[in-house]
Structure 1
Amino acid sequence: MTFSFEFLIGTYPALFRAALVTLQVSAITIVLSLTLGTVLTIVRALKIGIVNRLIAIYISFIRGTPLLIQIFLAYYALPALGIRLGPVTAGVLAITLNNAAFMTEIFRGALASIPAGQIEAAASVGLKPRAIWTKIILPQLYMRSLPAIINECTIVVKGTALLSVITVVELLRTAQQIGSTSFRPFETLVAAGSIFLILSLVISQCGAALERRFALRRGV
């Protein structure tokens, strides 16, 4: 069977519709992981011994196990504890917990690069801790971490392909369905891969544009 460009082009309408599911899941996951990563960073900065040890165990587990296993645990193991989640919810939960662990490590490194004198000066003029975090620390934290955040966003988008194993009908799952019914899996996988590539490139370009904008504001 020869490779058919005509068939490949014909799969794009269905795959682009499926890509909307991929984008929706990715957007929700990115927002949640950024939020959770930020909260974990703030909590770790408080230096509460037992809490930081628990967070360290969580991060070690996430970094030491494959994302696919974490997805299986969220979808198949949680029901044994009485927690039943739909495939999309379980997938979002697993990828969020995974990505948040890496986000908080990124933020921890960025936090260490912020001059302590800025925080001390803010405290000396009477700013409360909440204001110091929201007005001084977090804006710098996000700007300093932007390249790594963008990289994590592309990882999230690509990671959604693993949700096909728990029956989430996203981009890869749709490609598999088309390939199995048409007996042309190669064309459909190439088409799906090209869409993932486009999404990753768009995210990277948006991130580069943001970096340039922040650089102009700083006068770099």
Structure 2
Amino acid sequence: MKFNVDYLLSILPRLIDASLVNIRLALIIMAISLILGTSLTVLRAAKLPVVNEVIAVVISFVRGTPLLIQIFIAYYVLPAIGLDMSPQVAGVAAISFNSMVFVSETLRGGLSTIDPGQIEASTALGLPPRAIWRKVVLPQVFRRVVPVLINEATIVVKGTALLSVITVIEVLRTAQQIAASSFRPFETLVGAALIFLVLNLAISLAGKVAEARFSLARA
């Protein structure tokens, strides 16, 4: 079967419409993972032995198991203990939980580059710990880890394609449906790949712009 460019162009509008689901879910996931990842970083910095041991187990689980299995657990296993979620909610929960860990690890790395003298000086000036984190530490950490967070955003966008396995109608699921009815999987999968490529290129470009602005602000 020859590759049909005209057919690819004809299905692109439908795939683009489906990509709005991926974009919406990715934005929600990144917002949740940033909030939870930041909170987890602050909690780990408190150096509470029991809490840090629990966090270490969670991190080991997330880093040591495939994201697809974590999605299956959220959608198929959690209902058994009373947490019955829709496919989209389960997918958002699973990917957010996964991304939260990597965001926290990223912020922890950025935190290690902060001069402890700044925190000591802020404490000497009488700033409460919450204000030190909000006004002194976190703004610097986020500026320093922008490239890594952008990379995590592209991983999240690609991860939303895995939600097709739990019946979320997004780009890949739509491409599969089109391929099943047209018997032309080549064009549909190429179309889906192009959609994800364009989305991630846009994220990378936005990240470079943000990084350049932060560099100018530091200068």
User: Could you say which TM-score interval applies, normalised by the shorter chain?
Assistant: over 0.9
Q: Distance in 1 between matches of 2:10 and 2:100?
A: 37
Q: Distance in 1 between matches of 2:148 and 2:176?
A: 31
Q: Distance in 1 between matches of 2:90 and 2:68?
A: 12
Q: Which residue of 1 aligns with 2:111?
A: 111
Q: Distance in 2 between matches of 1:23 and 1:151?
A: 15
Residue aligned with 1:113, SS? coil
Query: Which amino acid in structure 2 is aligned with residue 11 of structure 1?
Result: I
Matches within 5 A, 1:47-58: 47-58=47-58
Matches within 5 A, 1:10-21: 10-21=10-21
Q: Which residue of 2 aligns with 1:30?
A: 30
Q: Distance in 1 between matches of 2:143 and 2:214?
A: 7
Aligned length: 219
Deviations 1:147-173 (A, max 9, x none): 000000000000000000000001100
Q: Distance in 2 between matches of 1:83 and 1:98?
A: 18
Deviations 1:90-127 (A, max 9, x none): 00000000000111011111101100000000000111
Q: Which residue of 1 aligns with 2:151?
A: 151
Matches within 5 A, 1:184-203: 184-203=184-203
Q: Which residue of 2 aligns with 1:213?
A: 213
Q: Which residue of 1 aligns with 2:134?
A: 134
Aligned-residue offset at 1:141: 1.0
Structure 2: unaligned runs, 5 residues or longer? none
User: Where in structure 1 do 4 or more consecutive aligned residues deviate above 3 Å?
Assistant: none
Question: With structure 2 as the length reference, what TM-score do the two structures score?
Answer: 0.99
Q: Distance in 1 between matches of 2:140 and 2:171?
A: 35
Aligned-residue offset at 1:83: 1.1
Matches within 5 A, 1:57-206: 57-206=57-206
Query: Which amino acid in structure 2 is aligned with residue 208 of structure 1?
Result: K
Q: Distance in 2 between matches of 1:17 and 1:11?
A: 10
Q: Distance in 2 between matches of 1:44 and 1:26?
A: 26
Q: Distance in 2 between matches of 1:137 and 1:74?
A: 34
Deviations 1:181-207 (A, max 9, x none): 010011000011001000000000000
Aligned-residue offset at 1:2: 1.1
